[in-house]
Amino acid sequence: MRDILARVGDRWTVLILTNLTQTPLRFTELHDRVPGISQRMLSHTLRALTRDGLVDRAAYAEVPPRVEYTLTPLGRSLAQAVDGVVRWTRDHQGDLVRNRDAFDGGRPPVPR
């Protein structure tokens, strides 16, 4: 269970899953949409998500070759669960930053 939670809680996994919820994406599109991820880390994370059955990798016999990544039904169910955490984070990001600033400055947190 620990290794599965590590995969689900990985920062890159969350960002990749949320980006794949709307449409299939190519590697470069995903790379452009996930700020700060290296190509090597994106490749590693996509491989792990594919191995876990959360992402499908479809290669098309075209020139130039095209590869797209999509969520599997299992990946969609995880993305729905993660969406709640993402929404909570967006809603409370300011509160967390204020509390951190207050803590680091030695002041009590500002109630909200």
Domain ranges of the chain: 2-104
| C-alpha distances in Å from residue 47, one per residue of 16, 23, 26, 57, 72 | 12, 19, 14, 9, 14
Output the pTM of the full model. Answer: 0.80
Tokens of 54: 């959360």
> Strand 25-26's sheet: what is its strand order?
25-26, 66-71, 55-60
Question: Which CATH architecture best describes the domain 2-104?
Answer: Orthogonal Bundle (1.10)
What are the pLDDT tens digits along the chain (112 aa)?
788 888 888 889 999 999 999 999 999 999 999 999 999 999 999 999 999 999 999 999 888 889 999 999 999 999 999 888 888 988 999 999 888 888 888 766 666 6
Q: Using CA atoms, how far apart are residues 100 and 86, in angstroms rounded to an integer?
A: 19
Spatial contact of 34 and 12, defined as CB atoms under 8 Å apart: yes
